[in-house]
Chain A
């Protein structure tokens, strides 16, 4: 795993990967690399939590393993599963080859071989380590799954009853994200570096737009960043995240405009606001002098 002298060096590497991290995020990444602690990122949708893990993988040159959480996620889908059809095929093949010479025990032991194990993201991460493991939207999974994660994060190893313990050569760099639809258990957060990812300042947002969409002019980027900041200050149901402002800039760029005008804004509002009440509210605010 590459080392960085200080958080600023990591921020530079992230910037080269197209992600402009603020100071707190850079320190979090730096500490995660140095102290081998997972990072727990919380924040509104579309502020760049998932993108951070991707950028971290690119900056450090490590492979990215992603686990998308959802309700009902269990160990068989997150960790490993036995490949039952292949095991049956193996038995049939042995039968066909008339391998009567082999003992039953030997045959049975052969069934629980590593090659019949399907590695799901968490096992992949442990086997591939060092790598970046992204556990996305952990708040969607059930809380038993959190308890299960705890065990894994604590010692970066899994015990498979039939095979024994598989331990990571080096603990993977873990990024856990949550949209805060429910409170994640404190026991999980305690083991992590907690960072609340806020909306970026207008200057940073303009820089992000420029980095992500090179075709957008400096002036348009600044205008969009300012407008998005003003939208966030309004009392909206879903304040736009960075992802939305990037979409917005791309939409305006696709229309061939190079500056934000009243007509262009009215035409493209749907790229940045996705709730009807919000759009109406902004229209009303724009019409008022």
Chain B
């Protein structure tokens, strides 16, 4: 019976590894069958996403047992924010005009075509990898290192003096040891950015390969998708294909303000964007009111060290950022750069290390 539950939970997508299952058996042994729900959930799950899947599996598994994850716990789960207009219990927000817009947008879900890379695309990916090595933003760390300039280093100076039997020496100096600064790439993969979307994933791959621990890549469209994990694969083709499989809204519509706000709520405000260099790759094409997009950009600017907005149109002659969304965003960005060619990407990465 317990193995049936394990099978159901696995089928729902929770990675219940053998050691977790073993822990579950010991936990059920300790608590007794009445607390099966908690004993299994505590041992099998590893993230809020897992809990949502586990609850679904558990509800199907035992008809009489209600899942005990209260609405309070489920509320903050990842898929929460985009369809809130239709979820129950949010009556307080009914008068919100922002929600009406959201509800009116019909979502088009589509995955990326599984095309293999052409020789030219491979060559471009290699160039991107080489370019990404140049993007290495740093920030001063908390710790010190010996340096030829900066404040005096009392300890080293003292030790040097001790070695010299107490004679005064030139003071040793120290400076803060630089640490890598996090880089967050938010790539718009909606229909209007379609010609660039593939190249953007390859750029994301190059950046993640270069600094896997300090780079995060998300895609924006009608939903927010974190693609850092799939992009960790060494091979660019495998990585881009895996990323394409987790992005549900490839070349769909765009809800830029909503997805950007979603990013801020779920990741940015919690710390991911704090002191980071944030690069948003989007044409800023927003249907509806551009004001929420401006607010989201302002919030992002306050969190981030630098907010860089890259838009392919900026590379065209006679470009002026008058499109509703871009105009709203412009007061809050540190740099608006083009992103339509490899040369423009090079410029963008130079801006990143700035």
Interface residues in chain A, defined as those with a beta carbon under 8 Å from any beta carbon in chain B: 6-7, 23-24, 27-28, 30-31, 34-35, 37, 42, 44, 70-72, 139, 143, 179-183, 186, 189-190, 193-196, 198-201, 230, 232-235, 237-239, 277, 285, 288
Contact = CB atoms under 8 A, between A and B. Distances in A.
> Which among B42, B50, B75, B96 has the greatest number of chain A C-beta atoms within 10 A?
B42
Nearest to A188: B46
A198 B76 contact: yes
Given A198-B76, A201-B72, A23 B23 contact: no
A31 B28 CA distance: 9
A179 B274 CA distance: 14
Given A44-B76, A179-B271, A181-B271, A237 B46 contact: no
A238 B269 contact: yes
Contacts of B299: 237, 277
B93 A235 contact: yes
A27 B36 CA distance: 10
B23 A198 contact: no
A198 B70 contact: yes
A181 B73 contact: no
B27 A31 contact: yes
Of the listed residues A139, A182, A277, the one surrounded by the most CB atoms of chain B closer than 10 A to its CB is A182
A193 B43 contact: yes
Nearest to A27: B38
Nearest to A71: B142
Contacts of A42: 47-48
11 contacts: A31-B30, A181-B272, A186-B15, A193-B27, A198-B76, A199-B75, A201-B72, A234-B92, A235-B93, A238-B269, A277-B295
Q: Which 7 A-B pairs have the closest CB atoms?
A: A181-B271, A198-B73, A27-B38, A193-B42, A199-B72, A189-B46, A198-B72
Given A35-B30, A234-B93, A237-B265, A186 B35 contact: no
Contacts, number: 117
A235 B84 CA distance: 9
Nearest to A288: B95
A182 B74 CA distance: 19
Given A42-B48, A72-B143, A201-B72, A179 B270 contact: yes
Contacts of B317: none
Contacts of B23: 35, 37, 193
B81 interface: yes
User: Which range holds the interface residue count of chain B?
Assistant: 35 or more
B295 A31 contact: no
B145 interface: no
Contacts of A195: 42
Contact of A233 (B27, B48, B92): B92
Interface string B264-283: 11000111100000000000
A7 B31 contact: yes
A190 B92 contact: no
A27 to B, nearest CB: 4
Nearest to B90: A233
Interface in B173-198: 179
Contacts of B31: 6-7, 27, 30-31
Nearest to B81: A235
B122 interface: no
Nearest to A239: B76
B129 interface: no
B17 A190 contact: yes
Contacts of B45: 194, 196
Nearest to B38: A27
Given A190-B46, A235-B93, A285-B92, A35 B27 contact: yes
Contacts of B96: 235
Contacts of B10: none
Nearest to A237: B269
B52 to A, nearest CB: 10
A189 B47 CA distance: 9
A71 B143 CA distance: 10
B95 A72 contact: no
A30 B39 CA distance: 10
A72 B20 CA distance: 31
A72 B92 CA distance: 43
Contacts of B179: 71-72
A198 B92 CA distance: 20
A277 B264 CA distance: 13
B17 to A, nearest CB: 7
Nearest to A179: B270
Given A179-B271, A233-B92, A27 B213 contact: no
A31 to B, nearest CB: 5
Interface string B37-70: 0110111011110110000000000000000111
Contacts of A201: 70, 72
Interface string B250-266: 00000000000000110
